[in-house]
């Protein structure tokens, strides 16, 4: 398996999940500006949309879209307990979808856009605050988004990590901050974050 990633982007959630699950993989860095890989390939020939993450599985198929990749990886190692079954699986998918649509794409895409007008950025910031407030309220008295640690917690923690580059303060959402701390304190997540932070800083 091969994971195509960019340091500290949403593909970090895939790396954390792989480490949690004990999945062996090659990790290939993608330059988001030039759309080339660290070994010189044209990334657009691998993923025409040019986004990360993407994974190349054993039969050569390229899988894309963060939410589906996370669930695919979790199911490769069911004993790792990264995705529940039954109604809890549906609840987990709800939170994966919420983080993806309301926070990651719905808000951060505009916040970090180089072409979005100031009005769009301001709207996106308020949208992110409302979404995070909703999650924060749900997490009152809970350790995790569902009844146990899952890939939904990983995804939320990775997206929440981007707040430090925005006017939004993670501290304003103490339950989200506490969940992120629990996730990043896990050995697999700590290893993944440290590795990608080093790569990010080296390229800065």
Q: What are the pLDDT digits (tens) for 52-103?
A: 999 999 999 999 999 999 999 999 999 999 999 999 999 999 999 999 999 9
The pLDDT assigned to 24 comes to 95
Residue 200 forms part of a structural domain: no
Same domain, 38 and 59: yes
Residue 23 included in any domain: yes
Q: Which domain holds residue 60?
A: 2-80
Verify cis geometry, omega within 30 degrees of 0, for the bond prior to 53: yes
pTM of the predicted model, to two decimals? 0.96
Q: What is the CATH number of the domain that holds 31?
A: 3.40.30.10
Q: How far is CA 89 from the centre of its chain?
A: 18
At 204 the pLDDT is: 73
Return mean pLDDT, the chain: 97
Which of 200, 192, 203 has the alpha carbon at shortest distance from 20? 192
Is 94 found in the same domain as 53? no
32 has a pLDDT exceeding 80: yes
Which of 80, 113, 135 finishes a domain?
A: 80
Q: Taking residues 148-174, what's their average pLDDT?
A: 97
Name the nearest CA neighbour of 111 among 128, 136, 95, 98.
Answer: 128
The answer to whether 64 and 49 have CB atoms below 8 angstroms apart is yes
> Is residue 202 a part of any domain in this protein?
no
pLDDT of residue 203: 84
Given the DSSP bridges, would you call strands 36-37 and 26-31 parallel, antiparallel or unpaired? antiparallel
> Looking at residue 160, which CATH number applies to its domain?
1.20.1050.10
Do 58 and 136 reside in the same domain of the chain?
no
- Provide the 8-state DSSP code for 171: G
57 & 114 share domain: no
Q: What total of structural domains would you count in the chain?
A: 2
């Amino acid at each position: 398996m091969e994971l195509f990633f960019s340091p500290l982007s949403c593909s970090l959630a895939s790396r954390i999940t792989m480490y949690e699950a004990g999945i062996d993989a090659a990790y290939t860095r993608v330059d988001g500006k030039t759309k080339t890989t660290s070994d010189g390939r044209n990334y657009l020939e691998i993923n025409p949309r040019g986004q990360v993450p993407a994974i190349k599985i054993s039969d050569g198929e390229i899988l894309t879209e963060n939410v589906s990749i996370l669930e695919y990886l979790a199911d490769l190692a069911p004993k790792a307990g990264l995705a529940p079954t039954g109604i809890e699986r549906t609840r987990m998918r709800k939170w994966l979808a919420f983080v993806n649509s309301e926070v990651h794409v719905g808000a951060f895409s505009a916040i970090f856009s180089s072409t979005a007008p100031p009005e769009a950025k301001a709207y996106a910031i308020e949208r992110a605050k409302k979404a995070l407030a909703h999650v924060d309220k749900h997490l009152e008295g809970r350790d995790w988004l569902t009844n146990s640690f899952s890939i939904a917690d990983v995804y939320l923690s990775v997206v929440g990590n981007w707040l430090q580059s925005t006017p939004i303060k993670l501290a304003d959402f103490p339950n989200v901050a506490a969940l992120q701390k629990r996730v990043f304190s896990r050995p697999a997540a700590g290893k993944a974050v440290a590795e990608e932070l080093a790569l990010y800083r080296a390229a800065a």
